[in-house]
Amino acid sequence: ETGVTQSPTHLIKTRGQQVTLRCSSQSGHNTVSWYQQALGQGPQFIFQYYREEENGRGNFPPRFSGLQFPNYSSELNVNALELDDSALYLCASSLSSGRVNRELFFGEGSRLTVL
C-alpha cells in the first residue's frame, strides 16, 4: 500500500507567477484535501475534493483552485503568487468525504518559496 505522495518537494517562484502542485492519494482513498502550513503554524484547510468535485473550502481566495482526476489524484493551482503564499502545502487523503471515516493521511508536502 503506497502512502500519499506529493510533487515537487521544493520549488521557488517569483511574485505574480502561477504554480501547480500534484498529489497522489493513498491507495483506496477517494477524497483529497489540501492544507497550507506557514512556518511555525498549524495547517490551514484550503479545500477538499470528493468524486472530482470541490465539496468544501476554507478561507482562501479564488486564485487557489484545484482538480481531482478519475484516479483520485489531485492538483492544487495557485495563480498570481504573493509573498505570503510561501508555505508548505500538504495534501491529505481519506477513505470518505468525512461523515463516517475521519482519518486523514498526509503527504510530506511541497515547500513553496515566493520571491
Partner 1 sequence: QQQVKQSPQSLIVQKGGIPIINCAYENTAFDYFPWYQQFPGKGPALLIAIRPDVSEKKEGRFTISFNKSAKQFSLHIMDSQPGDSATYFCAASMNTGFQKLVFGTGTRLLVSP
Residues making contact with partner 1 (CB under 8 A) = 4, 31, 33, 35, 40-45, 48, 50, 55-56, 58, 90, 92, 94, 97-99, 102-109
Nearer to partner 1, 40 or 70 (CB): 40
Minimum CB separation of residue 55 from partner 1 in Å reads 5
The CA distances from residue 68 to 24, 49, 81, 112, in Å, are 10, 6, 22, 21
In the complex, what is the shortest distance from the CB of residue 27 to partner 1, in angstroms, rounded to a whole number?
Answer: 17
Cell numbers that stand for 6 in this block: 506529493
Distance CA 21, CA 8 (A): 7
State the DSSP string of 12-37: EE-TT--EEEEEEPPTT--EEEEEEE
Closest to partner 1 by CB, 67 vs 106, is: 106
Q: Which is nearer to partner 1, 4 or 114 (CB)?
A: 4
